[in-house]
Chain A
């Protein structure tokens, strides 16, 4: 069964249709990425899964359960958690409160403590700054807060919307190192990235979107033989 499935989805904002008859079937046990030009509907795709965008037609399922236009909470309860584009930390809350609210649906103290430890182990700087307001941190550290917050509920599948955008080169390396670590530990992910070269090194399966339509899907390895797609969306240097 697919972990997450979009079946002929039309979706958009107000009158503006963004996704056109989009079908994606995310299989468990692999790292997926979505690439495509700016404004092609990558974020909208993940937001539709999470219940943040109106789905006009079609069906979205998580492990077979219909979650089309469900409340975002129902999606989180099914283990689908998103790191939104730009991170969107809660600036007035401390780092620790940001992590706490990431696990809003978790009440068990022992479980919470274990999750804090795991996140602090991945991002030691967050433990040092746990009492500081998130809005006072640097951009890179805020992204770590957002990343840690998304890991707090221990999601079955993590949706990352441009986790490396706007970061200095060494921080971009850090982000991809973390993604690698999560992959080694068997975490399922869907990653949106502008940094195509880097993400193709991690992802096992690729979707290419353009103007809300799926232009290509397939194993990363197979993509390298697709001259047309490589030329249009990825750039020659990788071919």
Chain B
């Protein structure tokens, strides 16, 4: 028998982990849904966010400034990626494939640019706080709680923009039918660039927020990218709600399963779930809830 206390603890851990996963995965699903790009440089955006945060923190000594700098710089990086690399290819027949190859190239380029420019040394990012709360028998890391809150806040802001603003209306229109959106006077290319920027900014924010946990090094983005990829496949590529559900669900499953199995095996479990979901419905959770 598992004690209820342990189970509750793992669910809380899972919840926090889910917030982190969602922060990375939502951006990935969003650009697919809106701009039809499966962005293999999403992990590199995470990595750049970590470095920008690291240097900004060293420069200013302020965590808030580090977070802000990461968001701004990585947003710009996403924007430029659309205009410089993706837009010129958008009229091609096989844009889906071409954009995958180009973003993979960009990821490798960014990783090597950092390797050459900054070096391979792991940079330790100081913890926000070491403090721990004990509430009702649960141990809660204040740092993880704060990361969770910021993630929730960032995603809530994104949802508000998408559901309530004119920009959000344009984003949804372009994702549903870009040709008809053009007829309304929407400029899809701008919408793509803004979406790439927002998506990258979320990855950059995740990169700086999680830097105290992961440290910062040139290939740090690949593992979160892989996890986000699994989440997005389970949630349904392009489905924001499905991805959110998948992030929370998978994180809690992983966290609870570590009561019985080692953390590495928990990873295998996630892949098994991904394959099972894709076998049942190739559109993932989004295929059930959005249809």
Say yes or no for B265: interface residue by CB 8 A criterion: no
- Chain A residues closer than 8 Å to B177, beta-carbon distance: 88, 90
Q: Is the CB of B176 within 8 A of A104?
A: no
Q: Within the complex, what minimum Cβ distance (angstroms) separates A150 from chain B?
A: 9
- Chain B residues closer than 8 Å to A102, beta-carbon distance: 184
CA distance A110 to B124 in the complex (A): 55
- Chain A residues closer than 8 Å to B180, beta-carbon distance: 84, 88, 90
Q: Is the CB of B182 within 8 A of A101?
A: no
Say yes or no for B172: interface residue by CB 8 A criterion: yes
Q: Is the CB of B186 within 8 A of A104?
A: yes
The count of residues in chain B whose C-beta lies closer than 8 Å to any C-beta of chain A is: 17
The count of residues in chain A whose C-beta lies closer than 8 Å to any C-beta of chain B is: 24
CA distance A73 to B181 in the complex (A): 10
Which of A91-99, A163-171, A183-191 lies on the face that meets chain B? A91-99
Q: Is the CB of B187 within 8 A of A71?
A: yes
For chain B, what secondary structure do more than half of its interface residues adopt (helix, strand, loop), or is it mixed? Answer: helix
- Residues from 161 to 176 in B contacting A, C-beta threshold 8 Å: 166, 169-170, 172-173, 176
CA distance A41 to B243 in the complex (A): 43
- Chain B residues closer than 8 Å to A101, beta-carbon distance: 169-170, 173, 181, 184, 186
CA distance A71 to B182 in the complex (A): 8
Say yes or no for B281: interface residue by CB 8 A criterion: no
Say yes or no for B183: interface residue by CB 8 A criterion: yes
- Residues from 75 to 133 in A contacting B, C-beta threshold 8 Å: 76-77, 81-82, 84, 88, 90-93, 97, 100-102, 104-105
B contact residues vs A (CB 8 Å cutoff): 166, 169-170, 172-173, 176-177, 179-187, 290
Q: A84-B179, A92-B176, A93-B172 are in contact. List 18 more A-B contacts (CB 8 A).
A: A50-B183, A52-B183, A71-B182, A72-B183, A72-B185, A73-B182, A73-B185, A81-B183, A84-B180, A90-B172, A91-B176, A93-B169, A97-B169, A97-B172, A100-B169, A101-B169, A102-B184, A149-B184
A contact residues vs B (CB 8 Å cutoff): 50-52, 71-73, 76-77, 81-82, 84, 88, 90-93, 97, 100-102, 104-105, 149, 153
